[in-house]
Amino acid sequence: MAYHKPVLLDESIEGLCIKPGGVYVDLTFGGGGHSREVLKKLGRKGKLIGFDQDPDAEANVPDDKRFSLVQANFRFLRNFLRYMEVEKVNGILVDLGISSHQIDRPERGFSFRSSDNLDMRMNTRSGLTAEQLLEEYTQNDLQRVFRQYGELKNAGRLASLIVKAREGDPLNSPDRLEQALGPVIPKQHPSKFLAKVYQAIRIEVNKELEALREMLPQTIACMEPGGRLVIISYHSIEDRMVKNFLRSGNLEGDIKKDFYGNIETPWKLIHKGVITPGEEELLLNNRSRSAKLRIAERI
Tell me which DSSP letter residue 67 carries: E
Q: What is the pLDDT of residues 105-131, one digit of tens each?
A: 555 555 555 657 899 999 988 889 999
Specify the pTM: 0.93
The reply to whether CATH 3.40.50.150 applies to domain 9-100+208-298 is yes
Whether pLDDT at 196 is above 90: yes
Q: What is the pLDDT of residues 201-239, one digit of tens each?
A: 999 999 999 999 999 999 999 999 999 999 999 999 999
Pairing between β-strand 267-269 and β-strand 67-70 as defined by DSSP bridges:
unpaired
Residue with more model confidence, 117 or 151: 151
Whether pLDDT at 159 is above 70: yes
Spatial neighbors of 180 by CB under 8 A, at least 6 apart, are: 161, 162, 164, 165, 166, 171
pLDDT at position 101 is: 47
Q: What is the pLDDT of residues 41-94, one digit of tens each?
A: 999 999 999 999 999 899 999 999 999 999 999 999 999 999 999 999 999 999
Among candidate residues 96, 123, 97, 94, the one with its CA nearest the CA of residue 219: 94
| CATH 1.10.150.170 residue spans of the chain | 126-206
Pairing between β-strand 89-95 and β-strand 67-70 as defined by DSSP bridges:
unpaired
| CATH 3.40.50.150 residue spans of the chain | 9-100+208-298
Domain 126-206 has what CATH class? mainly alpha
